[in-house]
Amino acid sequence: MRFAHCLVAGAAGVAGSAVLFAGPAIAARFDPSSGDPRLSGPGVDISVAIPTGWRQVTDKSHPQLPQMVYPDTCSTGATCASALASVLSTSAINAQTAAEAAEQAVVGQPGIQGATIISEGPIQVAGRSGHYVRFSYSQPNGKLQAETVAIETGLASSGVIPTSLVFVTVSDLAGAPPASVIDDIVGSTQLIAR
């Protein structure tokens, strides 16, 4: 699906803030004792659980953007995914600015239509303050529901705060996971000790 590629391009293009979060208000709790594999990467200050039926993929043009796709039989996210999630760490003025910039980077891509914010506001994720934007949009091949969640992961320095993002989007294609997976993935967010 093209939405995976749009996210990568949008995430890489957000000036100093990044693009990746999912889940409203206070997301469901994740049980770390479950032994689930985690999605993260070098330089990323958070990880999220990789749910059953999903797989991690690497975009060679954006290796700094760890992502996973559904279904797990998909090896190239841009062409076969019906859902996608990514994580990223960067700096931003605050979590709200980062989450809103991430949403705008996604909906500003060519071919995106009918973008509508469903809800947004403060959120607590992994014991940290953050901000989420839940939105929907359309592409020629379907409708999608998505969420960006920005989490402040460090202390402010020179006017910016280390911020990590989770982005999850689910299409309405046959066989796609339910939109509730957005909350599950966001709720599984953990900070990585450095």
- Between 13-22, 162-171, 182-191, the lowest mean confidence (pLDDT) is in 13-22
- Please say whether the beta carbons of 53 and 66 come within 8 A: no
| Predicted pLDDT at 193 | 73
The overall average pLDDT reported for the chain is 82
Q: Does 6 have pLDDT greater than 50?
A: no
My answer on whether omega of the bond before 71 falls inside 30° of 0, hence cis, is yes
CA 119 to mean position of chain CA atoms: 16
- Between 15-19, 109-113, 152-156, the lowest mean confidence (pLDDT) is in 15-19
* 118 HSE (CA, 13 A, CB side): 15
Task: Give per-residue pLDDT as tens, 70-83.
Answer: 999 987 765 789 99
Say how far apart CA 93 and CA 44 lie, in whole Å.
Answer: 18
Q: Name the one residue in this structure whose structure tokens are 């891509």.
A: 109
CATH of 2-191, one of 3.40.1000.10, 3.40.1190.20, 3.20.20.140, 3.40.50.720: 3.40.1000.10
Say how far apart CA 175 and CA 194 lie, in whole Å.
Answer: 38
Domain map of the chain by residue range? Answer: 2-191
| Predicted pLDDT at 78 | 59
Distances (CA, A) of 92 to 43, 46, 48, 188: 16, 16, 21, 23
CA-closest candidate to residue 169, choices 61, 32, 68, 50? 68
| Predicted pLDDT at 59 | 77
| Predicted pLDDT at 194 | 64
pTM of the model as a whole = 0.82
